[in-house]
Amino acid sequence: MRFLYLVVDDLNADAAEMTRLAERGQALVGSDDVFDVTRIEIGPGYFYESVVGGALVVPGVLHAVSRHGADYDAIILGCATDPGLDAARSITDCAVIGGGEASVVLTALLGRTFGIVTIAESAVPELRAQIRRVGAESRCVGVESIETPFADVDRKYEQARDAVTEQAVSLRDQGADSIVLSCMSFGFTAMAQDVSARIGIPVLDPVRAAVAAGHAQAITGTGVSRKAVPRLENPGFLHDYLGRFSQVSLDSGLTGYAPALPTTAAQSRKDSHA
């Protein structure tokens, strides 16, 4: 399968960071699949998880899905609150996967109950809405935060791992049969495996869950139901609207515009050594 991962939370990520994501993502899926990475072109330069940040990236998500959907089997949204998920699904026949949604759904295969550990308290309301959306509210024992910037999940890995472990133990002791790590940054580390070994129950990260969901759709030959998410019949107005973003100067205090880095992992690696 051909996966495209959309970076939505750091439009200023340099070539080295894009290469890190591409190489770790490719290692995750293996040689039989392709894992490319690109940034959205419209959205905040950088944001922590919040309802405002999530809303601001939706135009960029729609632009990227419209641009790249025909070239990939699945597009993975690079935020575990899944910003713009249904809207993106409405404009393409490519599978659009939300890692947060996929993780919560997969917990049903691991036990009766689950808990969520995320990086910021500001993301908790969105995650609770996500749980309700998939009908899993009665199975969730709680949502906890480690209050850590997403970049520090990798840069300060041991500190982040200890904080995640502490919250995961609390959720386990409250009755969780499994744990969801609800930030995509966790998926580019060994966090899920390390924490699972420490606490003795399954731990899911949203990147691997998204890849699994993409494979599940491919193997079963299914896609999103157009009864649930109707196809946008007249996309011209959307394209006109998105086109305006490249013609206006956005307030740098709130949002920014940045061109996408090359999509392919190979080109990203080349650029990082230029």
pLDDT digits over 45-60, tens only?
A: 877 667 888 899 999 9
Mean pLDDT of 61-85: 96
Q: Are 42 and 63 in contact (CB under 8 A)?
A: yes
Average pLDDT, the chain: 89
156 vs 134: CA distance, rounded Å: 33
- 52's CB contacts (< 8 A; 6+ apart) are none
> Residue 153's pLDDT band (boundaries 50, 70, 90)?
very high
Please state the φ and ψ torsions of residue 82, each to the nearest 5 degrees. Answer: 60, 55
Nearest to 39 by CA among 11, 67, 17: 11
128 vs 108: CA distance, rounded Å: 17
46 vs 56: CA distance, rounded Å: 11
Task: Identify the pLDDT of residue 217.
Answer: 97
157-173 vs 191-199: helix crossing angle, rounded to 10: 50
CA geometry: angle 124, 125, 127, nearest 5 deg: 65
43 vs 63: CA distance, rounded Å: 11
> Residue 82's pLDDT band (boundaries 50, 70, 90)?
very high
pLDDT digits over 89-118, tens only?
A: 999 999 999 999 999 999 999 999 999 999
pLDDT digits over 198-213, tens only?
A: 999 999 999 999 999 9
Domains of the chain: 2-98+212-272 (3.40.50.1860), 101-206 (3.40.50.12500)
For residues 165-178, one letter each, b for 16 or more C-beta atoms within 10 angstroms of the residue's C-beta and e for the rest, the string is bebbbebbeeebbb
Sign of CA dihedral 49, 8, 264, 259: negative
CA geometry: angle 141, 144, 148, nearest 5 deg: 160
Query: Could you tell me the two tokens for 230?
Result: 């109707």
Query: Could you tell me the two tokens for 24?
Result: 């770790």
Query: In angstroms, what CA-CA distances link 24 with 11, 107, 263?
Result: 19, 24, 15
pLDDT higher than 80, residue 250: no
CA geometry: angle 254, 258, 261, nearest 5 deg: 145
Amino acid sitting at position 245 = F
241 vs 270: CA distance, rounded Å: 34
